[in-house]
Amino acid sequence: MINRQLAIIKRGAVDLISEEELRRKLEKSIKTKQPLKIKAGFDPTAPDLHLGHTVLLRKLRQFQDLGHEVYFLIGDFTGQIGDPSGRNEVRKQLSKREVWQNAQTYKKQVAKVLDMRRLKIVFNSRWLEKMSGVEILRLTTHASVSQMLAREDFKNRYSRGENISILEFIYPLMQGYDSVVLKADIEVGGTDQIFNLLVGREFQKDFNQPQQVVLTMPLLEGTDGTQKMSKSFGNYIGINEPAKDIFGKIMSIPDELMLKYYELLTDEDLSKVKETHPKEAKVNLAKIIVSRYHSPAAAQKEADEFTRVFAQKEAPGDMPEYKTDGKKNIIVILTESRLAASGNEARRLIKQGAVSFNNVKIDREDFVPAGSGILKTGSRRFLKITK
């Protein structure tokens, strides 16, 4: 029983501090028939969740299925401070209203992964807003400046002479105190959260509580294959996006990233995935993801459409339409139709040979389509032009 739980909990994980402590907690849980308290914090700094967020959500669902008690902590208070993890500059602070609006969208989206009947959603403003100035100052006695500057992102910014606000030092202390309030047995977070999670362990020790086990999950790279998935990098796959977009974006990820997506986003047997042809494996991955966030029928429809468009070299059955007066050049059409975010991006696409009209590559910025036809950018974006 314990070995089975350990195998499920450890799948895809990076840091486990420590496995021996986790084993003891699991043994006690089974003996006393008391579920462990699992904590994961999410600061609602943006309204939409993407597949990178679901790496943690899926791990929480595994804990739920193992019978443990999951606390989905929405950092509506700490979100106004801004988590400095992985930041090279001071994070823009959000208003209480912005954070609250984003939090409401989170509650709806996590229902696509977690069992809401067994989920405990808590907001850390419930206890942090009630703390007096003196009580908050007392939290600072549990950490030193030298400890904070040992943190990699702070250390790098300090060595470059860049600003670090005192407020940023407060953030991990607040997150650590959350663990004390919830009496967490295990805290789950991304690898960039390791410092904050360890602060939680130290806080619990100082408050005479059993220390939480720290479990970190890897950061999922986005569609570019290099940067972590993020809206700010434009490489994200949102779980609320249309099925067509999710399928297409999955198919665009580099082949070398595919196994990691399988490991972190599915329950598939990785040994069987390795034996499958990369193209077939990627189509199957896209179908799994679309099925989860839309439906199996939507997944099959997009798979059939993908085969028709890319394998059989046909244009998609449904594509956006753009009406022109026959005078607008290709730069204007690309930007007005939003196939390109800006004129500079449109020029870059043309220079890269990524734009074609009726299967003929466009190499001039002053090109004006003659008559109706199909405009294509990249490998999967189409626009029907009509006069």
For the stretch 238-253, pLDDT in tens is 998 899 889 988 988 8
Instruction: Check pLDDT > 70 for residue 379.
Output: no
Tell me the three state secondary structure of residue 50.
strand
Q: Which pLDDT value is given to residue 92?
A: 59
Q: Which pLDDT value is given to residue 286?
A: 95
Mean pLDDT, range 283-291, rounded to an integer: 95
Q: Phi and psi dihedrals of 18, rounded to 5?
A: -125, 165
**CA separation for the pair 287, 46 (Å, rounded):** 27
Tell which wins on pLDDT, 371 or 42: 42
Tell whether pTM > 0.85: no
DSSP characters over 264-326: HH----HHHHHHS-HHHHHHHHHHHHHHHHT-HHHHHHHHHHHIIIIIS-PPPSS--EEE--S
The pLDDT mean for the chain works out to 87
Q: Which two tokens stand for residue 19?
A: 């496995």
Strands laid side by side in the 186-190 sheet:
15-17, 213-217, 186-190, 37-42, 69-74, 119-123
Q: Which pLDDT value is given to residue 318?
A: 67
Q: Which pLDDT value is given to residue 86?
A: 52
Instruction: Check pLDDT > 90 for residue 27.
Output: yes
Cβ neighbours of 294 (radius 10 Å):
20
Tell which wins on pLDDT, 160 or 39: 39
**CA separation for the pair 147, 129 (Å, rounded):** 26
Q: Which pLDDT value is given to residue 340?
A: 83
